Chains A and B, each alone.
Chain A
Amino acid sequence: AQKITQTQPGMFVQEKEAVTLDCTYDTSDPSYGLFWYKQPSSGEMIFLIYQGSYDQQNATEGRYSLNFQKARKSANLVISASQLGDSAMYFCAMRSAGGTSYGKLTFGQGTILTVHP
């Protein structure tokens, strides 16, 4: 079975500073993808970044980067130069290509990020 763990219920960061949101995962599938989503207070789910299990380099998308450590089964999201608009709930999620988790996206519990001015 797949499992995603986000151990930080809430995080605070000062505007313009960097912040790391933790995510660890567990799966027996050899091929999987790791995703981060942002959910602002308006409620929509916004896809941020993707990392494949076979990717050699860490994924980056603008101010977002994913610190992927496969041996530790961690996929932490790093947000650089935080902005007030980054205040939201952030979800880590995993998807496998096969097995009993076929197609399903497994989510963590989420981390609420608050950016202070």
Chain B
Amino acid sequence: NAGVTQTPKFQVLKTGQSMTLQCAQDMNHEYMSWYRQDPGMGLRLIHYSVGAGITDQGEVPNGYNVSRSTTEDFPLRLLSAAPSQTSVYFCASSYSSGTANSPLHFGNGTRLTVT
């Protein structure tokens, strides 16, 4: 019972490099999202998707791209890494996006450091 799987767990990048954080879920969830967690700022929504082929921006989308070609996968791309993107990134999914009663199921997070 894998749930939400994120890779890698840790990553160090140099400023200007690009990379993709992978996220996959095996629960046939309609809704997927990416959050970043920074000290003192809680979790903030980067991008989200309400279904395959549909994505939208969250609170802090700048510097990140997403796509949703399948129900299962929702990768997050850092286009040109900056030190301000040093953070812990969480992928989360839920069964429904149209109701308020679906809890988000989180992956274990990716700790990213940009030097």
Do A and B come from the same complex?
yes
- Chain A residues whose C-beta falls within 8 Å of the C-beta of B50 in the assembled complex: 102-103
- Chain A residues whose C-beta falls within 8 Å of the C-beta of B43 in the assembled complex: 91, 105, 107
Q: How far is the CB of B86 from chain A (nearest CB, A)?
A: 15
Question: Residue B88 at the A interface, CB < 8 A?
Answer: yes
Cross-chain contact B42 with A91 (CB below 8 angstroms): yes
Distance in angstroms between the alpha carbons of A41 and B100 in the assembled complex: 28
Cross-chain contact B45 with A43 (CB below 8 angstroms): no
Knowing A103-B31, A103-B48, the reply to whether A109 touches B40 (Cβ < 8 A) is yes
Cross-chain contact B42 with A97 (CB below 8 angstroms): no
Cross-chain contact A103 with B97 (CB below 8 angstroms): yes
10 residue pairs of the A-B complex, CB under 8 angstroms, read A33-B99, A33-B101, A35-B103, A44-B109, A45-B90, A50-B101, A102-B97, A103-B50, A107-B42, A109-B42
The list of the 9 closest CB pairs from A to B, nearest first, reads A33-B100, A45-B106, A103-B97, A97-B100, A107-B42, A107-B43, A47-B103, A95-B100, A33-B101
